[in-house]
Amino acid sequence: MILCDNDIRERLKKDLVLEPFSEAQVSSSSVDLRLGHEFRSFKHVSKSHIDPYDVKGSDEYTELHKIKNGEAFIIHPGEFVLATTLERVEMPKDLVASLDGRSSLGRLGIIIQTAAMVDAGFKGKLTLEVANIGKMPVKIYPEMRICRMTFYKLTDQCDKAYNGKYLHQKAAEGSKIEKDHEFNDN
């Protein structure tokens, strides 16, 4: 079941956290999330590739950019960056959510490719994978609406709430794939 606006408002009073939050973010069946101030872009490095079995941290191949209010981050055609939401999210144990990019930005060539599901129990800011598939550079601004979050009710509270490697993240973080159990078994 997808939560409607009234259900979302009730859960925000009870056990769903979105901070900072404004009533203007709520639509009929979702909540708009805004773009945070931090972006992580990929550097041009002399490495020939990224090997998930040998990732030593994304700082080796990415750099962090902090953008002030009123300033823009320009995303060029073919460019892929990591961004973060302005909002910190705390999901209760009986809700999951999906993220979708805004159509208005998609029409400019900006797509949001995320690990589209936010698990029950997740806490932290959401990292967004943002790409420009258009032919012209596009300015994106901190605190602009970037995506929407749709909430789904689980049949019951989950026994195993999210406790993964991105719990409590506060910024646009690079991949932590090296912490996956299948990589550590080798």
Domains in the chain (CATH in brackets) are 5-44+57-161 (2.70.40.10)
> Distance between CA 34 and CA 21 in Å, rounded?
10
**Could you list the pLDDT tens digit for every one of the 186 residues in the chain?**
999 999 999 999 999 999 999 999 999 999 999 999 999 998 877 777 777 776 666 667 788 899 999 999 999 999 999 999 999 999 999 999 999 999 999 999 999 976 678 999 999 999 999 999 999 999 999 999 999 999 999 988 877 765 665 666 766 666 666 666 666 654
Q: Which residues on adjacent β-strands are paired with residue 32?
A: 148
**Active site residues per annotation:** 129
Q: CB atoms < 10 A from the CB of 5, how many?
A: 14
pTM (two decimals): 0.85
Q: CB–CB of 158/93 below 8 Å?
A: yes
Q: Which two tokens stand for residue 14?
A: 């009870």
- Between the alpha carbon of residue 152 and those of residues 15, 17, 102, 156, the distances in Å are 14, 15, 19, 11
Could you tell me which of 110, 184, 101, 113 has the C-alpha nearest to residue 147?
101
Q: Which residues on adjacent β-strands are paired with residue 65?
A: 39
Q: CB–CB of 172/127 below 8 Å?
A: yes
